[in-house]
Amino acid sequence: MEVSALILVVTFFVLLALNVPISFSIGIATLATMLYSIDFVPAITTVAQRMAGGLNSFALLAIPFFVLSGLIMGQGGIARRLIECAMALIGMLPGGLALVNVLSCTLFGGISGSAVAATSAIGSFMIPEMEKKGYERNFAAAVTATAATTGMIIPPSNILIIYAIASGGVSISALFIAGYLPGLLVALALMLVCVVYAKKHNFPTEPVLPLKTVVTKVAAAIPSLLLIIIVIGGIVAGVFTATEAGVIAVLYSMFLSIVLYKEVRVRQLPDILLKSVGITAIVMFLIASSSAMSWILSYENIPQAITDTMLALSENPLLILLIINLILIVVGAFMDMTPAVLIFTPIFLPVAESIGVSPIHFGIMMVLNLSIGLCSPPVGSVLFVSCSVAKTSIEKIIKPMIPLYFAMIAVLMLVTFIPAISEWLPQAMGLMK
């Protein structure tokens, strides 16, 4: 087992260092590990079978539908209406535009399920607007990057669906509901930092709008916000599955963008569909190759060996969870969320369950942890998008982002060591066994 694990790890990281795409790195490392034990033909056949089997899941159909609905929303005027709603509600508070940025990213991320989409859609408007009103451009970019990650925790979230598959069948409905409180806590923590930062730097506030204007702006955003109620309410009530909810999300976002708001033309749909196919293909290939790696990990008994090693170091659950968090924070800084979840869930979930941590609690902790990696150098995709939108560099954005990082890590520690934050809602709704 030791030799197999060494071959797997060394091959994987050498390929990554050579800039081989991560999905190919995973697949080649898996094949190389198998070749140590068996001949080439059965090894490559097994890899192919495991890759195909990893995609043979009805729940995975939800991903292309949520990807498509997110792309339609990004072009359908939904982001602008959410920003105007947030502006009307909290723009007059200290650091008003920064708070509007956080709330808008949270709402749009929760509707679209994409941190990158939230960064692009909200950031393209809010970053120039904040700069125009006297905010530092780098601070505006930092707020957008960190706030956009809430879309990974607040449902509908593709990464929670992927975790459900990787964990061996954890309830998607329970995961979706469990993500609400942690996601809102992250948003509130970021808002608190924004208020303190704004007061320290004397950033301006927005004027109080007349009640009629506030009502108008909020009413304009209600159709968009209804998507959350329709999708999550339908899943929890058992009206439809998460996959069927994805179809509902596509149909509803098309209705909003094409019929109600009239900001997407029918002739634009082929381009949107083509883009969604490209994104889905990348995600599915990652899932397929990671499924093969998960199988070889299990076949070589690597997760059990890691569990035994960690329990030998300490039987203190708090210390073990802290170690897992530290490892995942490092992983998140160098690896995208999807492969990280697919690779490390089979490794760390048995450890967590052995110390009494539920799969729901661990899943939210893991996704929240890896969300920090989305806005962390050197490979944070959201960080790069935010810098691109703001026309700034990573070096300049890091300093104003440090207090925002600390806020996210503080919430991560709360979620890690207080299971009720992620478990209370699904338990109250009878979604946890």
Among 188, 248, 244, which Cα is nearest to 410's?
188
This prediction has a pTM of: 0.85
For 258, which DSSP code?
A: I
Tokens of 144: 């957008």
pLDDT at 1: 56
Distance (Å, whole) CA 176 – CA 369: 16
> Do 156 and 44 belong to one domain?
no
pLDDT tens, the chain, 433 aa long? 578 878 888 888 888 888 888 888 888 988 888 888 788 888 889 888 988 888 887 778 888 888 888 788 877 777 778 888 888 888 788 878 888 888 888 888 777 777 777 787 788 888 888 888 888 888 989 998 899 888 888 887 888 888 988 887 788 888 888 998 999 999 999 999 998 988 888 877 777 778 888 888 888 888 888 887 888 788 777 788 778 888 888 898 889 888 888 888 888 889 989 988 888 888 888 888 888 888 888 787 777 777 777 777 777 888 999 999 998 988 888 777 888 888 888 889 988 998 889 999 999 999 999 998 888 877 677 888 888 888 888 888 888 889 999 999 999 999 999 999 999 988 888 777 6
Tokens of 430: 């009878």
Task: For residue 89, give the amino acid letter.
Answer: L
pLDDT at 399: 87
Distance (Å, whole) CA 226 – CA 149: 21
> Do 296 and 192 belong to one domain?
yes
Domain housing 37: 1-54
> How many separate domains does the chain show?
2
> Do 27 and 81 belong to one domain?
no
> Do 37 and 121 belong to one domain?
no
Q: Give 152's Cβ-side CA count (13 Å radius).
A: 31
What are residue 174's phi and psi, to 5 degrees? -65, -40
> Do 294 and 214 belong to one domain?
yes
Asked if the structure places residue 194 within a domain, the reply is yes
pLDDT at 433: 63
> Do 134 and 21 belong to one domain?
no
DSSP assignments along 395-428, one per residue: HHHHHHHHHHHHHHHHHHHHHHH-THHHHHHHHH
> Do 104 and 13 belong to one domain?
no
> Do 247 and 135 belong to one domain?
yes
Tokens of 231: 């999708």
> Do 9 and 71 belong to one domain?
no
Asked if the structure places residue 144 within a domain, the reply is yes
Distance (Å, whole) CA 347 – CA 332: 15
Helix (H, G, I), strand (E, B) or coil at 186: helix
Among 316, 420, 422, 317, which Cα is nearest to 369's?
422
Asked if the structure places residue 415 within a domain, the reply is yes
Asked if the structure places residue 366 within a domain, the reply is yes
> Do 218 and 300 belong to one domain?
yes
Distance (Å, whole) CA 281 – CA 346: 23
pLDDT at 4: 80
Tokens of 229: 């109620």
Please list, in sequence order, all residues whose beta carbon lies within 8 angstroms of the beta carbon of residue 262, skipping any fewer than 6 positions away: none
Q: What is the 3-state secondary structure (H, E, C) of 326-375?
A: HHHHHHHHHCCHHHHHHHHHHHHHHHHHHCCCCHHHHHHHHHHHHHHHHC
Spatial contact of 283 and 159, defined as CB atoms under 8 Å apart: no
DSSP assignments along 190-204, one per residue: HHHHHHHHHHHHT--
Task: Choose the final residue of a domain: 38, 54, 70.
Answer: 54
What are residue 237's phi and psi, to 5 degrees? -75, -10
> Do 50 and 62 belong to one domain?
no
Distance (Å, whole) CA 282 – CA 276: 10
Asked if the structure places residue 433 within a domain, the reply is no
Distance (Å, whole) CA 127 – CA 145: 11
Asked if the structure places residue 324 within a domain, the reply is yes
Distance (Å, whole) CA 15 – CA 217: 51
> Do 60 and 33 belong to one domain?
no
Asked if the structure places residue 302 within a domain, the reply is yes
Distance (Å, whole) CA 20 – CA 18: 6
Asked if the structure places residue 268 within a domain, the reply is yes
pLDDT at 256: 87
Q: Give 203's Cβ-side CA count (13 Å radius).
A: 29
DSSP assignments along 8-26, one per residue: HHHHHHHHHHTT--HHHHH
Task: Choose the final residue of a domain: 35, 54, 73.
Answer: 54
The overall longest dimension of the chain from CA atoms, in Å, is: 75
